[in-house]
Amino acid sequence: MNQLADPSVDLLLNQRNSNFIKERKKLAIVTGSEATKETLCSQMKYYLEDCVDIEGYSEEVMVKDPIQADLVVMSSKILSEEMAEYVSPECPVLIAKRSLNIENIEKLFGIPKGTSVFFVNDIKENAVGCIEALQEIGIDYLELIPYYPGCRIYRNANIAVTAGEMALVPDHVEKAIDLGARIIDISSIVEILKLLDLMDQKLSLVSEKYKETMIRFSNHLYHLFNEASSMNQYLARILNQINDGIIAYYGSGIISIFNEKSREIFGAASAGDLIHNVIADSSIKEYLLAEEDLSDRLFRLNQEDLIISKFRIDKLDTTVCTIKNTKENKDIEVKLRQDLIRKGYIGKYRFSDIAGNSTVISDAVHIAKKLAKSDLNILIYGESGVGKELFASAIHNESLRNRGPFVAINFSAISEDLIESELFGYEEGAFTGAKKGGRLGIFEQANQGTIFLDEIGDISLRIQARLLRVLQEKEIRRVGGSENIPIDVRVIAATNKNLVQMCRDGSFREDLYHRLKKFYLKVPPLRERCQDIEVLVHHFLKKHGRGRLQISAEVMETLRMNRWNGNVRELENVMEYFIAVCDTGTVRMSDLPEDFFDESVMGHGGQNTESATVRGIQNPMMIDHDASGIQTRNDDAEYTTYSEALCQRGNLEEYLFFLKLIKEYTDRGQTISRKTMAEDAKNRFPYLTEERVRKRTDDLQALKLITKSAGRVGMRLTINGLKYVNYNTQ
């Protein structure tokens, strides 16, 4: 290691009182500043404290009495001249050689290669000496410029390094690094031993300690260099893994970073090369070297479209560019999307997939689109099968998270024991049967995306508490794990239960309810939007590949009148049934599922209060409910009631003839008028005029066996009319 010293080392021995000897020797250290005094005193105490009293004096603090010691060590020659009068004339004086304290050298490691740096010291020799010392220990990649009072600045720098001379650092410098005061050089330490007559006693110990310090330091340095170089390798690996080109260069165009992707695009180059020589395309070269132009630009190179972006790091006089190949980036996006699709973690639906134009559904879509723009949690309320998941998926796809996963979990379909590990995952060995390597929970899988928690009202209070913590802390802990894992997920929860009531009766946590319900969306049941049925019917026929299949007007009417307790899902099921059973091009009443009227049209378990009124009170065809709420019927008795009612009004045969006729026409998708009815009835009932036909149809309408409306729809059988006809044609 190089040792720096004042160029002239003078040993001024004043032997006038050579018998100045005490039991413990006294060493006085005189410095310019207090900081240097501290450094040098602690250095000498490290070597000699056990046998020498060490006293420090600095020019900064007034020395009152003359300094008396076995040896006075001056930190510089100038100081020895300035402080001479404060030293007892009989004291021997040594002007110490000093060297750079390299223990703080790591402070320089952050300065990038090629940077101009002032080395600041009190005189030229010291500044130059320190620079040489730094170069010798490997800091030769910086452009070190000596700086001292009165020097001429031939090249400027924004960073300054000094050895304890911060006061001399020029004001314009943006960053100053103090390596600390220079320490006493080993050769001067040996001199001190000699002068204190401690050579025999201390030399080997001091040299041991000195060696030890050096070894400790060089180990430290070695470690730091290793760390820095493995960090560099690590960074280089990262930069080479990135799928975009990355180039960094100093103001003048000297390249400092040129990653693998850049090499693929522009050809071979490495740090130290010039942009000017490396980039052949003149427009790209011009753009890169135009310091003030920081806009993103599109370039075409070798049939590829490149988007180049730039930003400046002014402090380092560096420009960094990223180069994206638009096609490759698209391909990557497609791959990532395919990966999500493979895992099933995508929102399958968009708002355009929501069929229906009723006001209620349009309003719901309108609100949902607004909610999609925010990132807050949403609670969707709606009966089973109304389309809650459809809405959740559409919201995800319209939100800023649409490139992330959409993961859905239905709590009603998972047992309580499994919910926790499904949501939060588990560590290997968390429980018997846990998979090797553990498993990610859906919260982790949905990271940066949306999680859809369906049937949230079905989870236990225990899981509610865990879920609440996750929503509050935004981190999860795997089952059997000890680490908290941060997550960035938007939660959309759904329920068909009355959560407010559940909060009241204590089965749902109110705090969780409020966390989930930052926004609220209600999806209306299908029976509140009968206008949508026709649109939905065609939507599902098309969705299942039978867009051309016709639905007879009567069937459509029957569908419209249905209660649809299973909502849109039930309607879709019926459409799939039609597709499976209908052999002709038109679905007719005869294609309706056998149990359609039992299970669907009649409603479930007395929920259909509106229809029950129509059927039960005003209609002779009664629906009874047994104790369990399940419907029971005595069909024969009910049909007989109709027959009796008709017989009381006129000829049952005529009425049945007209009912069948209406059915035939609607099955063919045709409307039937009174005139047609009279004509068709002519052969069997020649006495029936058009007016009489009107009378018969009025009777049928009064018994709610048919409906009459003006225009295209005309006369139609009601469900009961249809069933009564079917009963009589068996």
| Cα(567)–Cα(365) distance, integer angstroms | 17
Report, in Å, the least distance between residue 719 CB and ligand ATP: 24
Report, in Å, the least distance between residue 448 CB and ligand ATP: 23
Helix (H) or strand (E) holding 554: helix 553-561
Q: Which residue is nearest to ligand ATP (CB)?
A: 387
Tell me, residue by residue from 451 to 470, as one string, x for binding to ligand ATP by CB under 6 A and - for no binding. Answer: ---x----------------
390 binds ligand ATP (CB under 6 A): yes
Report, in Å, the least distance between residue 569 CB and ligand ATP: 4
356 binds ligand ATP (CB under 6 A): yes
Nearest in space to 127 (alpha carbons), one of 144, 112, 115? 144
User: Which is closer to ligand ATP, CB of 438 or CB of 524?
Assistant: 524
573 binds ligand ATP (CB under 6 A): no
Report, in Å, the least distance between residue 287 CB and ligand ATP: 49
- Contacting range for ligand ATP; rule: CB under 6 A; set: 91-99, 206-214, 349-357, 370-378: 349-357
Long-range contacts of 201-205 (CB under 8 A, 24+ apart): 201/51, 202/47, 202/48, 202/51, 205/47
Among 386, 446, 541, 555, binds ligand ATP (CB under 6 A): 386
Three-class secondary structure of residue 333 per DSSP: helix
387 binds ligand ATP (CB under 6 A): yes
Residue type at 505 in one-letter notation: D
- Contacting range for ligand ATP; rule: CB under 6 A; set: 145-153, 311-319, 352-360, 483-491: 352-360
- Strands 425-426 and 304-313, by their bridges, are unpaired
368 binds ligand ATP (CB under 6 A): no
3-state helix, strand, coil in the chain (%, to 5): 45, 20, 35
| Cα(288)–Cα(312) distance, integer angstroms | 11
- Contacting range for ligand ATP; rule: CB under 6 A; set: 19-27, 81-89, 382-390, 681-689: 382-390
Q: Which residue has the tokens 């009664």?
A: 622
CB neighbour list of residue 558: distance below 8 Å, 6 or more residues apart: 589, 592, 601, 719, 722
Nearest in space to 189 (alpha carbons), one of 83, 12, 46, 19? 46
Report, in Å, the least distance between residue 387 CB and ligand ATP: 3
| Cα(441)–Cα(430) distance, integer angstroms | 13
496 binds ligand ATP (CB under 6 A): yes
CB neighbour list of residue 255: distance below 8 Å, 6 or more residues apart: 247, 248, 249, 269, 270, 271, 272, 273, 274, 275, 278
User: Which is closer to ligand ATP, CB of 120 or CB of 368?
Assistant: 368
For residue 20, which phi and psi values (nearest 5 degrees)? Answer: -80, 80
Among 213, 384, 402, 507, binds ligand ATP (CB under 6 A): 384
Helix (H) or strand (E) holding 319: strand 318-325
Residue count, binding to ligand ATP (CB under 6 A): 18
Three-class secondary structure of residue 250 per DSSP: strand
354 binds ligand ATP (CB under 6 A): yes
389 binds ligand ATP (CB under 6 A): yes
Among 478, 490, 539, 563, binds ligand ATP (CB under 6 A): 539
- Contacting range for ligand ATP; rule: CB under 6 A; set: 254-262, 283-291, 351-359, 722-730: 351-359
572 binds ligand ATP (CB under 6 A): yes
Report, in Å, the least distance between residue 567 CB and ligand ATP: 7
User: Which is closer to ligand ATP, CB of 357 or CB of 613?
Assistant: 357
370: its two tokens: 């607004």
185: its two tokens: 């050089």
> Which residues lie across from 211 on neighbouring strands?
none
User: Which is closer to ligand ATP, CB of 401 or CB of 539?
Assistant: 539
28 binds ligand ATP (CB under 6 A): no
- Contacting range for ligand ATP; rule: CB under 6 A; set: 60-68, 284-292, 348-356, 481-489: 348-356
**Residues 453, 409: contact at Cβ < 8 Å?**
yes
Give the residues lining the site for ligand ATP (CB under 6 A): 353-356, 382, 384-390, 454, 496, 539, 568-569, 572
